[in-house]
Amino acid sequence: MAPLALNSSEQLRRLALANGFRLLLFKREKRRKQLLQAAAAFLRHDLPTAASEASRAAFHIRSPKVVGGDIVSGDKFFADRADLAKLLLRLPTIAAVDMESAAVAQVCHEYSVLFMVVRTISDTADKSAAHDFPPFLRQVASVYSHGILKRLFDDPSR
């Protein structure tokens, strides 16, 4: 399965509210909703023609879904279900774990730039993690990213 996780960034939300950025926060939440809708529309309408059936089968993508939620970012690759279970006990609201988003968040915070993270999940944080990541990037992640952004920017209501 290759769900998409979108970072709600609760910590930045609190920081924005504490510093009087309510209008920016509203615009950001509106953009988050538009992004979720674009992702859902891509999966519903465009995926069958955008990513070949062979590519989807090769990466075990049967019924992808859009997931909105928090992303935890760190320097550990999760390949063990027990480690992931421990993390979920400590942070039950997380939708995904990655190793890159914190760096983006830090730079955006330092320059007062609002951001959102869109992830195409490549594995389930266990021993079945994809070993051949470059083909996944070419055949799945790039197709998802392009399709979602096209849907988002082609939407006349944005």
Residue 2 has pLDDT above 90, yes or no: no
Q: For residue 79, count CB atoms less than 10 angstroms from its CB and return exposed for 0-12, middle for 13-18, buried for 19 or more.
A: middle
User: Which candidate, 156, 133, 155, 138, places its Cα nearest to that of 42?
Assistant: 155
Pick the closest to residue 120 from 29, 47, 49 (CA basis): 47
Residue 19: per-residue pLDDT: 42
- Quick one: tokens of 38? 């674009």
Within the chain, where are the H helices? 10-18, 22-41, 47-50, 53-58, 81-90, 101-110, 133-136, 142-154
SS3 69: strand
Q: Which one has a higher pLDDT value, 109 or 124?
A: 109
Q: Does pLDDT of 9 surpass 60? A: no
